[in-house]
Amino acid sequence: VPTGRQPTAAPGAAHDSAFLRACRREPVPHTPVWFMRQAGRSLPEYLKVREGIPMLESCMRPDLVKEITLQPVRRHRVDAAIYFSDIVVPLRAIGLDLDIKPGVGPVVADPIRSRADLERLRPLEPGDVGYVTEAIGLLVDELGATPLIGFAGAPFTLASYLVEGGPSRNHERTKAMMYGDPELWADLLDRLADITAAFLTVQIEAGASAVQLFDSWVGALAPADYRRSVLPASRKVFQAVAGHGVPRIHFGVGTGELLGLMGEAGADVVGVDWRVPLDEAHRRVGPGKALQGNLDPAVLFAPEAAVRAKTAEVLAAAEALGGTGHIFNLGHGVLPTTDPDALTRLVAHVHEATAR
Ligand code: CP3
């Protein structure tokens, strides 16, 4: 859908930002910082604008998406914005009956369990998410040289919500399908890969200058199962967007044993949770890829001196990368009751400590 907008910022105004330079492993003026789940959650200004508006509805209102995406950039001076949305937005956009329950997460009315259910996963057309194109257009104009990260859920993590019908600790139904009906599983992941690739493409074409593929729950798998049953679909997503030349970030929780494979899937930047130090992650991922992470989000509840000490450990381990190719982040999303000021102080501190 052509928007007809006239961008005020030059195309690619963010090209030389510290964040994109670090993704490309070029020299940086300081280590760039952003936080997964930096929008929403702990910010009072977020809770204020969201009052009375359901989560999924807020994702479809470009004015609101623009405001919520900008809030953490204004407040914390992070080096990148992340588009305000949710991993289930493209699934809602193709007509699946699902909702996000506060304090619970995504809930699917009729879970996907059989071959007949696959028919409900039709391809995503750009026109299904016109509000995304519109919101990103507004955002890139406003952000100027600050890069915007687009994102999507990876096929495994989306499949887990669809097959279980909601959040799951053990992913037993998901694994039952994966082990019990590999052909159905592969077809499910393939359809999700196409939807995800289409959703990321919309975001890139609208102006996102990097994309992150969240495979949040894939750490539940052993490497051999990841390689056989997940990697082909994630690779399809990364290959589909490779031609745009924007950095591709891949992240999951508890994925220490999968870091090498997640790089192999086609990521330029591999996200690392707090369980594996970045020097060890660098050995596992190998040369040629940047790393993102990995301060334990719970550390932000400790006194400032402890935050500084744990941050110093992260920065010291990142030196293994050789002076660039590190994007500072938390090892998972900002926890809901985090003091926003602790985040603001952390951004300033990392910038200062790494100024070159
Ligand atoms: O700032 C940002 O990072 C952008 C916004 C964002 C949201 N969801 C908004 C949101 C992002 C990047 C996501 C991704 C997402 N959603 C993931 C991958 C990231 C991760 O944490 O591993 C996953 C697994 C989901 C699914 C989901 N949606 C969960 C687990 C929840 C939390 C449920 C809860 O309330 O604790 C949601 C809801 C959600 N997504 C909220 C927000 C701001 C909270 C809803 C609300 O404020 O009413």
Q: What residue segments make up the domains of the chain, in order of their start?
A: 18-354
- Residue 253 and residue 221 in contact, taking contact as beta carbons nearer than 8 Å: no
Say whether pLDDT at 120 is over 50: yes
- Percentage of the chain with pLDDT > 70? 97
**Ligand 1 in contact with 46 (CB < 6 A)?**
no
Any idea which residue has 């910038």 for tokens?
351
Burial of 184 (0-12, 13-18, 19+ CB in 10 A): middle
The residue whose C-alpha atom lies closest to atom 5 belonging to ligand 1 is 84
Note the pLDDT of residue 32.
Answer: 98
pLDDT per residue over 123-148, tens digit each? 999 999 999 999 999 999 999 999 99
**Ligand 1 in contact with 86 (CB < 6 A)?**
yes
List, in order, residues 6 or more apart from 260 with CB less than 8 Å away: 284, 285, 286
Q: ipTM surpassing 0.85, yes or no?
A: yes
C-alpha 37 to ligand 1 mean position (Å): 7
> Residues with catalytic annotation?
37, 41, 50, 86, 161
Say whether pLDDT at 2 is over 90: no
Q: What is the pTM of this model?
A: 0.95
pLDDT per residue over 335-348, tens digit each? 999 999 999 999 99
Burial of 353 (0-12, 13-18, 19+ CB in 10 A): middle
**Ligand 1 in contact with 102 (CB < 6 A)?**
yes
**Ligand 1 in contact with 185 (CB < 6 A)?**
no
CATH of domain 18-354: 3.20.20.210
- Percentage of the chain with pLDDT > 90? 96
If you average pLDDT over every residue of the chain, what do you get? Answer: 96
Report residue 112 as tokens.
């996907």
The residue whose C-alpha atom lies closest to atom 30 belonging to ligand 1 is 105
